[in-house]
Chain A
Amino acid sequence: MSLASIVFYILAFISISMVGVLALITTNYNLSLAETVFYILATVSLVGALGVVVTRNVIYASFLLLTSLMGVASIYLLLLAEFLALVQILIYGGAVIIVILFFIMLTRVHEVKSITDNSQKPFAFITSLLVFGLLLAGILNSNVEVGERSSVPFTELGNSLFTQWAVPFEVASLVLLIALIGAIVIARPKEDE
């Protein structure tokens, strides 16, 4: 048996067992399938995000951020925003995390012994808890009239991006260009280095 077929069988086994777990959770807790998937993805995103803010290793932190962002991409799929899910995977998985890993490789920042949390940690904890409480109170007290989840076709999205939103789109490209030039100017070694 070749390596490819072994990998195929393992992946097939994992997928089938995941479907089984999903079915089990859905029937046991009386949830709809979308809700089960949502709770799993929300757990992945939140655990990844929590890992980023508590770990002391920058490499673990960047990979945990990747996990969290891929969870967010799946949440976009659940919200029927396919284009944004693709963009999220491309930009964050393909560019941002690579830039961060390159940065870690270039600076060896992980070898610098420094405490990664500062003394205002308890205050930070209380503040973020307060902000969460405030947001939760706002969410629970608002009654927004909403319809059903529905998807936006790619063509409609592209049309409005290049007609109604054409000027902001061009400004965004200018922002990217300026950021690129600025990054080169700042990071370039000085004359005497």
Chain B
Amino acid sequence: MSLIHFQILSAAMFSIGLYGVLARRNALLVLLSIEIMLNAVNINLVAFSSYAESAQDVGQIIAIFIITVAAAEVGLAMAIILRLFRDRSSVDLDDVDLMKW
């Protein structure tokens, strides 16, 4: 059981999340893919902190902050998508072109 197992798992999850963000049109599914990417980053942080010789708490504390920001992001994103749905009856990201030049 070595660090490399966790690193490869993290890289695979990150790539899956990236594919979801790029390939999806539904705003909700893009948000779920972003959650997968954040979790992949967290696995990496926790794995490194767990295998570290000293200052083991730093990785875990930064992972806690990432979880906090992810929770705030979900709340805000849900509010924005809800607003979008009320105004346009659609959650399709290709329809949101108001700020496109």
Mark A residues whose CB is within 8 Å of B: 32, 34-35, 38, 42, 45-46, 49-50, 52-53, 58, 61-62, 65, 68-69, 72, 75-76, 79-81, 83-84, 87-88, 91-92, 95-96, 99-100, 103-104, 106-107, 109, 112, 114-118, 120-121, 123-125, 127-129, 131-132, 135-136, 139-140, 144, 146-152, 156-157, 160-161, 165, 168, 172, 175-176, 178-180, 182-184, 186-187, 189, 193
Binding site for A on B (CB under 8 A): 1-9, 11-20, 22-26, 28-29, 31-33, 35-36, 39, 42-43, 46-53, 56-58, 60-61, 63-65, 67-76, 78-83, 85-86, 89-92, 94
Interface pairs (15), CB distance under 8 Å: A53-B19, A61-B28, A65-B35, A72-B39, A100-B78, A103-B78, A125-B19, A128-B18, A132-B15, A139-B11, A172-B65, A176-B68, A179-B72, A183-B75, A187-B82
Q: Please give the distance in Å from A8's CB to the nearest CB on chain B.
A: 33
